[in-house]
Chains A and B, each alone.
Chain A
Amino acid sequence: MNSLIIASLRANAGKTSLIVGLAEHLGRPVGYMKPFGDRLLYSKKRLWDYDAALMSNLYAIDRNPENMSIGFDHAKIRYMYTGDTLRAQLEHMAEIMGRDKDMLLIECGRSISYGSGVHLDPLSIARALKTPLVIVASGSDEDILDDILFLRRQVDLTGVEIAGFIINGVNAIDSFKELYLPEIEKEVKVLGVVPHCVELGYYSLRFLADRLFAKVLTCERNLGRVVKHVFIGAMAGDTALQKPFFRKSDKLIITGGDRTDMILAAIESDSAGILLTNNILPPANILARVEESGIPMLLANTETNEAARRIAGLQPLLTIDDRPRIELLRDLVSSHIDVAALTK
C-alpha cells in the first residue's frame, strides 16, 4: 500500500481538489485521513471533517469519517495526547485507514504551520509516519517562489521525505514556466504546474446561503444556480442596467432590501441570485415579483461590506454530485501532474 501526505504552504491552495483529482485519475481503492480537521461538521453529537465525508462518499471508503480525524482543536489534542501517544495514534489510524487500499491519501491542515503546537503539522506527520510528503503551493508567482524556497532553505527538513511540489492555480502559466519555474526547479522537485481554472471558483447559491447563514426569501428550488460574477449594487438601478458588467448572466447582486430599484434591475438583467444585506426585507410586492422571476433572493444580517468581504474569500467546497467539477479536476491532474512520479 502506498501512502502520500498532501500539505500546502498556505490555506486554500487546493489540496482537497487535487486529492480528488488524483483519486479519480488513479481509479483504484483509496483510503483517506485528515489528522487535524479544519472543516468541522457536528450533528447529533457526531463530529467529522467535511473533506473526510466527501472522500468517503465519493470513493466508497468503508471507514467511518468520524475516525478519519484525531481532532479539530488544539485544546483537545493537548488534553488527550502526549508526543508519543499522538504518534502511536497516527500510526494506528494510518494502518486502519490504509488497510486493503492501494493508496492512502493523508491530507494535512490548512497551511504548513497549522497544527505545529500539537505536533500535527505536515512535517511532524511526515516524520511520524515516515511517509512521503507532497506540498502544494499557490498564490501569486512571487508568493509561490518565496514560499517554496523559504521552506527549502530555511526550514529543517530532517526526517522528512519530500516527494515534490505541486504548483496550483497559476494564472499566466506560460509566463510562470518561463520566469519562475526554472529557479524553483533548481532546488526542489516540481511534480506539476496546474493552471488556474475559473470554473473551479464558482459556487452555488445554496453554498453561499449556507456560508453566510442567509435566509432564503424566494425560489428555494433554484438554489443550485451557479454564481460566476459578483456585483455590488451601489448605484441606481437605471445606471446599473447600462453597465456592461451588469448585463452578464450568472451574476450575484449584493444590495440592501430597501433598494427596490436595484432589485428590479437584477430581475430585468437575468441574474443568478440576489443577496440582501443588513437584514432589510423588501416590500411584499417586490418579494412577489422576485418570486415570479425565479431568481433566488437571500437575506443576510451582515452589512454589505462584510458580506462582500466574506464572499471574496469564499472557497467553494466540492460536493459528491458535482461530477463536472470532479472530472475537470481529474483532467487537470492527468494533464499537468506527473502522477507516476507521485505514486512510485
Chain B
Amino acid sequence: MDHINNLFNPNSIAVVGASRTPGKIGHTIVKNIIDCGYKGNVFPVNPAGGDICGLHGYKNIFEIEDPVDIALTVVPASKVYDAVVECAEKGVKYNLIITSGFSEVGNIEEEKKLVHAARDHGMRIIGPNIFGLFSADANMNATFGPANITPGSVAIITQSGALGLAMIGKTAVENIGLSAIVSVGNKCDIDESDLLEYFIQQDRTKVILMYIEGIKNGERFIRSLKKATRVKPVIVIKSGRSARGAAAAASHTGSLAGADEIVDAILRQCGAIRADSIAEAFSWCAYLANAPEPVTEQTVIITNGGGVGVMATDACERYDIPLYNDTETLHEIFSPVTPSFGSTKNPIDISGGATAPEYSQALDAALNHDKIGAAMALYCETAVFPALDLEQMLEDTNRRFKEHGRPVLFAAVGGLDLEHAIGRLRYKNVPVFSDVDQAVACMGKLFEHYRQRRTRCDTFEDCSIDTQAIDAVTAEARASERSFLSANESREIMKIIGVGMPASCVVRSLDEALERCGDIGYPLVMKVVSPDIIHKSDAGGVVLDLNNKDEIIDAWQAINQRCQAYLPGARIDGIELNAMIEPGIETIIGARRDPVFGPIAMFGQGGIYVEVMKDVSFRALPLNRLEILSMMKQTRSYPLLLGVRGEAKKDIEGVLDTIIRVGALVRACDYISDIEVNPLVVFEENAGVKALDVRILLATQRKE
C-alpha cells in the first residue's frame, strides 16, 4: 500500500508534454496542480524548456535531478512510448498517460509495449486515455478538468474520461466533496481493483463510487470489491447492459447468463450497490457519506400529508426498509405530539395543520426513543408551515439526529421557495429531497450496505475432486477435440463428484433388457436410443412406469414398432433403461466459466421451460452455504422448495451440496467450460436429489 500511496500523495510530479500555451491540456494540468495548492515539487517537461506557469521547464525528464514520484504524459500518441521509456528509466513510480489513441481505437499492440517498457523498471501505468487524478490528501488536481474540486469523502473511480470530468462539475453543484477522483481509461495496467485496494484503507474516503464499462480481471475485481464493501459503501454505475447478447446457447446456463445478469448478481454478491444513473449514484453517495451507521433499522415516517405518507410507505416496501409497527409504543411516543385527528400509526400523520415547532417536536419524540432507529420526515408546504420556516428546522433536526447517531432524511413538496430552500439545504449536506422515492431510496441503500456488512460471510465451502479420475474420463474427448461429453461420460463424471443420477443402461436386445432390469430396479423408464429420432416422445419412443417383465416386453415391442412407423428405416442403436424416480421439484443447476468473472454458478427453476420462465439467479464461485441459499431465495420458485399447499419441505441441503460439488468441478478442471444439470429433481427433506440429465461442455482449443 505504501507503493500506491505514492500515487495519491506524491512528493513530486512531472508533466511530460507540459505547455506554456493556455488552453492546451499540458498547460491546464500544470495550472490545476499549482492552483489546487499542491505542496510537492512540480516539474513541467517540454523539449523547448523555458517558463511554464511560473515554473522552470525541463527539456527532458533526465534533466530533473530530484526523484519523480509520478509523471503525467501529455505528448502525442506517437511519442508516448519514448516518454514512457524515459520515465521508467528515470525511476518514476507511476505514469498517468493522458494521451488517447491506443487500445480504444484498436491499437492494442502499442499499448502492450508501453506496459512492458514500464514493468521492466517497476513503473506502473494508469490509462492511457484519461483525464488525470485528483487527490484531496495531497491537494493535488492533476487533471485537465475543472480547477476547483471541493475536497470531501467520496472517491470516484471512472472508466470514462468525459463522464468523469462532467461528474467533477456535478459534484461541485451538489457540493459533494471528493477525497479523490481517478480516471482509469484503457486500464492497460492499473485497474479499478488496484484503486479499490487503496481506497479501502484511506481514512478520508467514506464512500467509493465507480463508473465502469468493462471489467478485465473479474476474479480479482470480485476479491477487491468484497474487501471494500466490508468497510465502506461502494456504489457502482455499470453501463453496457445491452452490450453483449447471450453466450452461445449450447447450454441453458450460457444462454441465460447474459452479461448484465452476471454483473448484477456479482455486484450484489460482493455487497456493492448498483445505481442506474449518475443522479441516483450521487444522491446515494452524498447520503451515505454523511449518514451515521444505524443501530437498528426500525424506521418511522413522520408526515404532515397523508398522501405522501402512503407513497413513502410503498417506497419503504420497495427498498426493504422495515417500518416500526408496535402501535402501542407508537401511540405512547407520538400521541403527545399528534393532534387527535392525526394518526400515531406509522406513518405518523401530524396533519396538515402542523407548524414548524410541532413538526420538530414529533421528530424529537422519535429521536428520543431507543426503539426507533431512523426517521423520515415528509413535508407538504402549507400556509401554516411555509417553506421559510422549514429550512432552519431541517438544519437543526439534521444536526441533532447526527449528534445522536441516528439516520434521518427529509422529503419536501412545495413551490418555488421550497425548491430554493432545498437547494440551499442540500448544499449544506442536509439530506432533503423534493422526491419521496429518491429520499426513501437513500435510506434503503444505507440499510442495504450495513445489512450486508453484518450478515455477509465470505468464507467458502469446497469439496475435493478426483481430478485424475475426471481427466481419465475426459481424455478421449479432449484428445479428439470434442466440445461436449457424451451422455455416458457425463454420467461417469457425476458419479465421480458424487451427484446421484438414476440408474441407467443401454440395452440392445430384449433379452438384455430383461436381464438388466433387475440392476435398474422398478419402476423404470424405457427410451429409444436413435441418432435419427430427435423427439423421442413424439415418435412413441418413451414409455414410463414399467413395473415388471411383462410390461417391459410389451414396451419393447411398442417402442420398436412405433419408432419404425414414425420414421421407417430409422437406426435404432438400443433402448435406454432408466430408473424412474418419484415426482419432485425440478430445478436447474449450472456452472460455467464466464470470460470476465471466471467460474460462476446458476440455480433456478428447471425442466423443459427453463428458457421461457428464466427464473434463475447467479453467483461467482466459490460460495458458502449461506450465499448459495441467498442465491436460491432470489428465484421466484424458491418457495416451492419450502413446501406449498400442504406439501412437505424439500431437500434444500441436497441442492446446496450439489451446487458446491458442481462448482468445485468447474473450478478444479479448467477444460470444462460448462456443466448443467437439468432437471435436478429435489425430493422431500432428507430424501435427497437426483440429476436426471447432465450436459458437460469442454472449452474449445481456441484460447487467447
Contact = CB atoms under 8 A, between A and B. Distances in A.
Interface string B538-550: 1010010110000
Contacts of B510: 73, 75-76, 79
B561 interface: yes
Interface in B501-553: 509-511, 514, 538, 540, 543, 545-546, 551, 553
Nearest to A44: B545
A3 B81 CA distance: 104
A72 B561 contact: yes
Interface in A119-148: none
Contact of A40 (B546, B558, B566): B558
B551 A45 contact: yes
Given A42-B540, A45-B551, A213-B538, A76 B556 contact: yes
A47 interface: yes
Contacts of B402: none
A73 B538 contact: no
Contact of B553 (A38, A76, A213): A76
Interface string A55-78: 000000000000000011101100
B562 A42 contact: yes
A76 B510 CA distance: 7
B686 interface: no
B557 interface: yes
Contacts of A198: none
A75 B514 CA distance: 11
Given A42-B540, A76-B510, A79-B511, A213 B557 contact: no
A73 B558 CA distance: 9
B551 A73 contact: no
B63 interface: no
A29 B2 CA distance: 106
A80 interface: yes
Contacts of B553: 76, 79-80
A32 B561 CA distance: 22
B554 interface: yes
B509 A75 contact: yes
Contact of B561 (A73, A79, A80): A73
B554 A47 contact: yes
Contacts of B555: 42, 45
B447 to A, nearest CB: 50
B251 interface: no
Contacts of B543: 42
B11 interface: no
B540 to A, nearest CB: 7
A45 B509 CA distance: 20
A175 B374 CA distance: 107
A40 B543 CA distance: 15
A311 to B, nearest CB: 13
B566 A42 contact: no
B429 interface: no
Given A42-B540, A75-B509, A213-B566, A47 B514 contact: no
Contacts of B538: 213
B560 interface: yes
A73 B556 contact: yes
B569 to A, nearest CB: 11
A72 B551 CA distance: 14
A72 B511 CA distance: 16
Contact of A73 (B540, B546, B560): B560
Contacts of A38: 561
Interface in A11-70: 38, 40, 42, 45, 47
Interface in A220-273: none
Interface in B565-594: 566
Contacts of B511: 75, 79
A163 to B, nearest CB: 30
Nearest to A69: B557
A73 B511 CA distance: 13
B544 to A, nearest CB: 10
A72 B566 contact: no
A40 B551 contact: no
Interface string B324-344: 000000000000000000000
Contact of B558 (A47, A79, A213): A47
A73 B514 contact: no
Contacts of A47: 554, 557-558
Contact of A72 (B509, B514, B545, B557): B557
A42 B554 contact: yes
Contacts of B509: 75
Nearest to B554: A47
Contacts of A213: 538, 566
A155 to B, nearest CB: 27
B573 to A, nearest CB: 15
Nearest to A47: B554
Interface string B157-174: 000000000000000000
Interface in B420-440: none
A329 to B, nearest CB: 24
Contacts of A45: 545-546, 551, 554-555
Contacts of B556: 73, 75-76
Nearest to A66: B554
B528 to A, nearest CB: 13
A71 B561 CA distance: 11
A175 to B, nearest CB: 34
A49 to B, nearest CB: 10
A149 to B, nearest CB: 30
A42 B545 CA distance: 14
Contacts of A76: 510, 553, 556-557
A71 B560 CA distance: 13
Nearest to A211: B565
Contacts of B540: 42
Nearest to A46: B554
Contacts of B560: 73, 75
Contacts of B561: 38, 40, 72-73
Nearest to B561: A40
Contacts of B554: 42, 45, 47
A213 B510 CA distance: 27
A42 B514 contact: no
A45 B559 CA distance: 12
A231 B309 CA distance: 73
A164 to B, nearest CB: 32
A308 to B, nearest CB: 14
Interface string B192-218: 000000000000000000000000000
Nearest to A38: B561
A42 B558 CA distance: 6
B642 to A, nearest CB: 35
A58 B436 CA distance: 78
A71 B558 CA distance: 10
Given A75-B511, A75-B557, A75-B560, 7 more contacts: A47-B554, A73-B510, A75-B509, A75-B510, A76-B556, A76-B557, A80-B553
25 contacts: A40-B558, A40-B562, A42-B554, A42-B555, A42-B562, A45-B545, A45-B546, A45-B551, A45-B554, A45-B555, A47-B554, A47-B557, A72-B557, A72-B561, A73-B510, A73-B556, A73-B557, A73-B560, A75-B510, A75-B556, A75-B557, A75-B560, A76-B557, A79-B514, A79-B553
Top 4 closest A-B pairs, CB basis?
A42-B558, A75-B510, A73-B557, A40-B561
